[in-house]
Structure 1
Amino acid sequence: MPYPTQVPNSIGHVESIKDETLIEDIGEFKYNPPSPKEANAFDSVPVRDLPGAEDLGPPFVSVYGLDGSRVEVPVGDPRFDKRIGVIDIALVELDLTTIDEQARQAYVTPSKVRNLGEEHHVRMALPSTNTRYNAPTVHESWRLMTFQNFQQKEVFGQSLFDIYYDLLDRANRLVTHGRIRLEQCPAQDCTYGQQFINSTKPDTCPKCGANIYPTDPLRVHERVAGSQSNEAALNVLMGLIEHMVLLGAADSIWNKNPEQLETTAFIKDGPLAQFDTAAWIHQPLHNKLSQFQRFLRDTNREPLVYMGIHKTGDFAAYAQEVRDYLTGPTVLPFSNDDIYEHVIAGDRTKDYAKKTYYGKNFLYKSGKGNGTGHCLPFLIPRRYQGGRLGEKKGEIVQNVDAYTELARAVSLLERLRTVQHKDGLIPLVLAHEAASIPEELGRRVFGRVAEEVAR
């Protein structure tokens, strides 16, 4: 591997192609590619044939776009390796009448709508390397400040802790007298097993006496190290908060005027999935969304549009590979076989990411625009074959007819496209601009701020 500043040797391949043995070995390869017919055989569905395409229902009035950013900041003399973590989650609320004003243009210009949306932020600081907060260790400091942040930070008047508590309940983690089942003491040196802790305020381990917090079941602290980088823990916590903030926006509408869920859309950067130690939260998130879905269905309204967008990663890479071979406007459903064959290797006998995802993957290829148009891998909440809508029973439904919001979802994606960025969507462009913390500059600025306030 080169050094970061090292320029690649432009003739480094010359000696390799002079190696006769190497060339002979390459000549022995036998290629077995798919036929041209197989290579271009996509089980895509034209947009006009999607469920709900014949009548899209009332137009969307508003859309929420969400993105997050985090940075780990060195504080003071680098020899002492002191760091703090900073997270910024931005939720942008966009009035879609702004989009309609530019309906005659092929794409919407973000600069035209940047000042017409409303931003909501959840920001928090966390102790990281060699940094403590009202506790004897970095590990416990992180757990304490996570709990305090959840109590103090709000989404439309509802604290993160209130949202989290509802998810705990939906995950059946609250037991008799409202206590939380915890499988093991979270203290680093304690091995005490299952216990039932207070669900609203700090408790203590009966064996070691360590403080235990209601947010400890998220287990993000298991990724926290006292003297090393904690970016992995920051990433997990940021992802959790992103899901909770977007859900909080939908829940706010649900509590005030649930009929507005029909004409409000929700889009986040990244998949509808939670990974790592807190993966269990994907199921209650799915369960909560199904409450909204059932209400809209039972009141004969159009289905909820709640999406995640793969901007990077394996699904985004696959979209780039096939974009020139898809004739839009069309949607490509990703079955298990499709994913394991073309995107990510895995056990084909199991549903893809059943323990982490609450969204099902699709790919939308637009039918107009510069070059090849937009090619967007996106997700909407999964359906399962067993139980009522929202219950995680049986296998994931693959039939597109079960996903009644598809036509409305892609019609919205079409309205929100922009050429400011490749495959860009206005709400995510604005949310990223609102949340973005430049790595190097952010470290310098927050590092200096931390030094100043510590004096």
Structure 2
Amino acid sequence: MPYEGEFAQYKPLQRLVESERVKKLLGSYKVRNKEDCLSRSQTLQPIKIQAGDWIPNWIISIDGSHAEVDIRNGFPGAEASYVTVASVILDVAKMQELDQQRPVNPKEFKKIEEAESIDCALPGCNVIYDGEKSAKDSLRRSVFEVFSSVRMWSDGESLLDTYEALLKYKPTTERSQQCPYDENCTENRDYLRDNGRYNCPCELALPLYSTDALRIHERMNPEGTNGAIFSEIMQVWERVWMVHILRTLEAKKLLSILQRLSIVLDGSLAVFGQPAWISQAIYKEVSRINTVAKQAKGGKDILLIGVEKTGTFVEHFENLDRRENGSLGSFPCQSVGLLTDSYIKQNIIFSDSTRLYGAATYFGRKFFYKTKSGARIVATLPFLTDDHRDLTRAEISQYPRLSDAVGLLDKLVSSRFPNALVPLVSANAEAAIPLRLGNKVLEKLAKELMGAN
């Protein structure tokens, strides 16, 4: 990477062009031509689907955002991150009423939404909590305290309780995890998992946390930016919050509400990075709650939809929809593309692995849907049974409530942005931190709170 203000020169470019090693490497690469892509893409046959007419009373949408800011506290490269996860409850009946009265006054539309959020500031490089010895230990403590302090219902379980319910599903036979104090621990022990805050059994008796099992702190960069781990924290909070909502409804004997409620999550139904193990725990817990809800009411499966805004799958769907002349419209409206493991590995995420795609990270499976209005949606529906996890085939029965899901997507398309959905536009508006203005405001706040000059 260049220094600030230093511009690239032509000499390295000339050296690369003339390098025999580079020529040899480039010569061994194979560029897939358009005909090859098209022949492979023909293996995905769009399926016309009858959209359901089920409409929920409410939709809960969940989205998050994070922004890193530099802190002047006497240490070079000091950094903090602001993380927010917003959930918006959308009154669908009122939304449909307003939809018949276009154009709608934005103030009137805002009245059909109610929002709440998890907002916090987390320490990064060279920012240390009072009483802690390092930025890594400060981050561990901060994450635990946020989990402990958040709850949907004032007298209900905390987000930490929900997380620890998921922690019970974590296998104990996996490879061991190092103690967070591995450099100082007198006995060089493995991390001992437990609930809440407790002490390391070595003579130092330093504090450990149940949230250490997420292992996010292990990737902390002590000398630079940590945007990647703050992104991991955000995605964990988004997905654990979704489970928290379901568990709270169960505890309050309100699971019948799920027959009139849908949850829309920004991104795929998956967890990536160090805390990826929690995706399988979420699958087991959501599947359990779904079984209880159906038995209690004799109703339908939970309607939980993950929606991707960007990424490789979104780009691939756009390519599928592109005609020979470059215009869009090849993929029929109100049709789905159901994805198998082999299709994904041959056409989207190239791999020769024998392990099913996303086996360790996903708690749902993807599909493509082109809405009645022509919007392209890359969505995920949850695994609720083991059969749903079998990616060697792709059948409608493996996508719980697919008909209701696509019918709802038809009704939620927003005209504000291409291929956008109203609930996620609302959730993003609550969660998104404006990068230019936001960073200045957040930096000022951080300085005031930390007493920095």
TM-score normalised to the size of structure 1?
A: 0.82
Query: How far 1:284 sits from its partner (Å)?
Result: 1.1
**Counterpart in the other structure of 2:370:** 365
Query: How far 1:182 sits from its partner (Å)?
Result: 6.5
Quick one: distance in 2 between partners of 1:107 and 1:350?
50
Alpha-carbon contact 1:108-1:417 (below 8 Å) kept: no
1:44 is the counterpart of 2:46: yes
Quick one: distance in 2 between partners of 1:199 and 1:77?
34
**Counterpart in the other structure of 1:121:** 117
Query: How far 1:212 sits from its partner (Å)?
Result: 1.7
Alpha-carbon contact 1:267-1:307 (below 8 Å) kept: yes
**Counterpart in the other structure of 1:315:** 313
CA 1:112/1:362 → structure 2, altered by over 3 Å: closer, same or farther? farther
Alpha-carbon contact 2:125-2:224 (below 8 Å) kept: yes
Match of 2:333 among 328, 331, 342: 328
Counterparts in 2 of 1:165-180, with a 5 A limit? 165-171=164-170
The aligned amino acid for 1:362 is: F
Counterparts in 2 of 1:212-227, with a 5 A limit? 212-227=208-223
Counterparts in 2 of 1:7-406, with a 5 A limit? 33-34=35-36, 42-48=44-50, 53=52, 56=53, 59-76=55-72, 80-104=76-100, 112-134=108-130, 135-157=132-154, 158-171=157-170, 183-189=177-183, 192-194=188-190, 196-206=192-202, 209-256=205-252, 257-298=254-295, 299-323=297-321, 324-347=329-352, 349-368=354-373, 373-382=374-383, 385=386, 398-406=394-402
Quick one: distance in 1 between partners of 2:426 and 2:152?
18
Alpha-carbon contact 2:63-2:238 (below 8 Å) kept: yes
Quick one: distance in 1 between partners of 2:164 and 2:93?
36
Query: How far 1:416 sits from its partner (Å)?
Result: 0.7
CA 1:171/1:109 → structure 2, altered by over 3 Å: closer, same or farther? farther
Quick one: distance in 2 between partners of 1:232 and 1:172?
25
Quick one: distance in 2 between partners of 1:269 and 1:276?
17
CA 1:421/1:36 → structure 2, altered by over 3 Å: closer, same or farther? closer
Match of 1:410 among 393, 406, 413: 406
Provide Cα deviations, 1:359-418, integer angstroms capped at 9, x if missing partner.
1000110123xxxx20000001125556xx8xx7x7676322232410011111111111
Alpha-carbon contact 1:114-1:430 (below 8 Å) kept: no
Alpha-carbon contact 1:139-1:224 (below 8 Å) kept: yes
Quick one: distance in 2 between partners of 1:255 and 1:94?
23
Quick one: distance in 1 between partners of 2:165 and 2:218?
23
Alpha-carbon contact 2:266-2:308 (below 8 Å) kept: yes
Query: How far 1:450 sits from its partner (Å)?
Result: 1.7
Quick one: distance in 2 between partners of 1:35 and 1:238?
35
Task: Give the 3-state SS of the residue equivalent to 1:302 in structure 2.
Answer: coil
CA 1:36/1:222 → structure 2, altered by over 3 Å: closer, same or farther? closer
Alpha-carbon contact 2:307-2:378 (below 8 Å) kept: yes
Task: Give the 3-state SS of the residue equivalent to 1:122 in structure 2.
Answer: strand
Q: Gaps spanning 5+ residues in structure 1: where?
A: 7-15, 17-24, 176-180
CA 1:36/1:233 → structure 2, altered by over 3 Å: closer, same or farther? closer
**Counterpart in the other structure of 1:448:** 444
Quick one: distance in 1 between partners of 2:347 and 2:239?
28
The aligned amino acid for 1:168 is: L
Q: Among the aligned pairs, what percent are the same residue?
A: 24
CA 1:274/1:110 → structure 2, altered by over 3 Å: closer, same or farther? farther
Task: Give the 3-state SS of the residue equivalent to 1:76 in structure 2.
Answer: coil
- Number of residue pairs matched? 419
The aligned amino acid for 1:309 is: V
Alpha-carbon contact 2:95-2:112 (below 8 Å) kept: no
Alpha-carbon contact 2:46-2:332 (below 8 Å) kept: no
Quick one: distance in 1 between partners of 2:85 and 2:428?
9
Quick one: distance in 2 between partners of 1:34 and 1:80?
51
**Counterpart in the other structure of 2:10:** none
Report the RMSD for the aligned CA atoms in angstroms.
3.5
The aligned amino acid for 2:278 is: I
Provide Cα deviations, 1:155-182, integer angstroms capped at 9, x if missing partner.
3343221111110123356x9xxxxx97
Query: How far 1:331 sits from its partner (Å)?
Result: 0.9
